[in-house]
C-alpha cells in the first residue's frame, strides 16, 4: 500500500506545477480482471490476475503534463505499482515538444519496439503534407556509464488513402503504411533491426456483415513482435504465445459479440484456434496452439 501511495504522490507531483495555473484537469482509467485455465501437454494450472490504471492530465493552453500509474496483481501476490509514462508537453512556434518518460508510436505498432523510454525528448512539426518527428533517447547500445543517446527520425505523410511512415536510427529502419483501398483495409510494416528483418501484413474487409481479416507475420529468428495492441494479440482473451511468433498465418472473423481465429504459427506450422464471446464487459474465450489449450474469462471496465 505504501508503494501505491508513493507512486500516486509522484504522479500528482508531476502535474502540480501545471495544475496551479491550469483551468483543465482530467482524470480517467481502466480496470481488468482475468482468470484462465491452461493445459500444456497434460499439465494443468489455473491463474488469476488484475490490473488498474489511472491517467491524470493537466492542460494550460499549449502546455500540458500527464502521467499514467498502473497497479498489477497476480496469484497470491500483492499488487505492484509502476509509472507507465510521465511527461510534459509544450509548443515553441511550429514545433510540438514532449519531454520525459514516454512511448512513441510509429507504423503499425507491431514490429517496432515502442516501450516507454526514460527522459525521451520528442519534437514534431508539420512540413507541407508531411509530419517530421525527431525522438532523442538513450542509445540501446549505451553502457550505464556513457549513457550515450541516439536520435530517431520519422517522416509521416498521407499518400492517397494511406498513412505512410518511414523511421530510421542507429539500429532500426522501418517503413509502414496503414489505410484503405476501396473496401479493403490494409496495414503493412517492414522492419530491419541490425540486419534482422521482419514483415507484418494485415488485410481486412466486411463480408456479409462479418469483419474478416487475414494476418501474416514473417520474421528472422531474433526479432520478436513488440505491440500489446496488435490485431493478433487482441483476439479474445487468449494472447496464447501469439505475440512472440516468428511466423504466423491467421484468419479472423468477427460478427457481433462472437470472434473466431484459425491459422498456423511458427516454422513447425503448429495449428492455432481462438474462439471468443463477449457479454457486456466480460469476454469468454477458448484458444489452442498445438498441444496447449486455454479457457479464459476477462472483465474490463473504463472510468
Per-residue pLDDT tens listing for the chain (303 residues): 444 444 444 445 555 554 455 459 999 999 999 888 888 778 888 888 889 999 999 999 999 999 999 998 877 667 788 888 999 999 999 999 999 988 766 677 666 655 567 778 899 999 988 999 998 876 555 444 455 667 888 899 999 999 999 988 887 888 999 999 999 999 998 888 778 888 888 899 999 999 999 988 887 766 655 443 333 333 333 343 455 566 778 898 999 999 998 888 766 677 888 888 999 999 998 888 777 888 889 999 999
Cβ pair 245, 225 in contact under 8 A? yes
Domain borders along the chain are 1-88
Helix (H) or strand (E) holding 51: strand 43-60
H/E segment holding residue 266: none
> Could you give the CA distance from residue 236 to residue 230 in angstroms, rounded to a whole number?
12
Beta bridge partners of 185: 180, 204
Is 0.85 topped by the overall pTM? Answer: no
Closest CA to 237 of 281, 279, 286, 291: 286
Spatial separation of the C-alpha atoms in residues 24 and 11, rounded to whole Å: 17
Q: Hey, what's the torsion of the CAs at 249, 187, 133, 153, to 10 degrees? A: 50
**Which of 257, 237, 276 has its CA nearest to residue 48?**
237
Helices marked H in the chain:
2-19
The confidence score (pLDDT) of residue 18 equals 47
Amino acid at each position: 500500500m505504501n508503494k501505491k501511495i508513493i507512486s500516486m504522490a509522484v504522479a500528482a507531483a508531476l502535474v502540480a506545477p501545471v495544475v496551479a495555473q491550469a483551468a483543465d484537469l482530467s482524470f480517467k482509467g481502466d480496470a481488468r480482471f482475468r482468470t484462465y485455465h491452461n493445459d500444456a501437454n497434460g499439465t494443468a494450472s489455473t491463474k488469476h490476475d488484475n490490473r488498474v490504471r489511472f491517467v491524470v492530465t493537466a492542460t494550460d493552453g499549449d502546455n500540458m503534463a500527464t502521467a499514467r500509474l498502473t497497479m498489477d496483481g497476480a496469484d497470491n501476490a500483492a499488487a505492484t505499482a509502476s509509472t507507465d509514462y510521465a511527461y510534459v508537453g509544450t509548443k515553441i512556434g511550429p514545433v510540438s515538444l514532449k519531454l520525459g518518460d514516454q512511448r512513441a508510436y510509429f507504423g503499425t505498432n507491431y514490429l517496432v519496439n515502442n516501450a516507454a523510454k526514460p527522459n525521451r525528448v520528442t519534437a514534431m512539426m508539420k512540413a507541407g503534407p508531411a509530419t517530421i518527428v525527431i525522438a532523442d533517447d538513450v542509445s540501446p547500445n549505451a553502457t550505464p556509464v556513457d549513457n550515450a543517446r541516439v536520435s530517431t527520425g520519422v517522416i509521416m505523410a498521407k499518400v492517397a488513402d494511406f498513412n505512410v511512415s518511414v523511421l530510421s536510427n542507429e539500429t532500426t529502419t522501418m517503413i509502414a503504411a496503414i489505410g484503405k483501398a476501396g473496401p479493403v483495409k490494409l496495414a503493412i510494416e517492414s522492419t530491419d533491426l541490425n540486419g534482422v528483418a521482419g514483415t507484418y501484413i494485415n488485410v481486412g474487409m466486411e463480408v456479409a456483415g462479418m469483419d474478416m481479416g487475414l494476418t501474416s507475420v514473417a520474421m528472422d529468428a531474433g526479432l520478436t513482435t513488440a505491440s500489446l495492441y496488435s490485431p493478433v494479440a487482441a483476439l479474445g482473451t487468449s494472447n496464447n504465445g501469439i505475440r512472440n511468433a516468428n511466423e504466423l498465418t491467421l484468419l479472423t472473423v468477427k460478427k457481433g459479440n462472437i470472434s473466431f481465429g484459425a491459422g498456423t504459427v511458427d516454422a513447425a506450422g503448429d495449428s492455432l484456434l481462438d474462439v471468443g464471446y463477449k457479454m457486456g464487459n466480460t469476454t469468454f474465450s477458448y484458444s489452442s496452439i498445438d498441444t496447449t489449450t486455454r479457457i479464459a474469462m476477462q472483465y474490463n471496465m473504463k472510468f
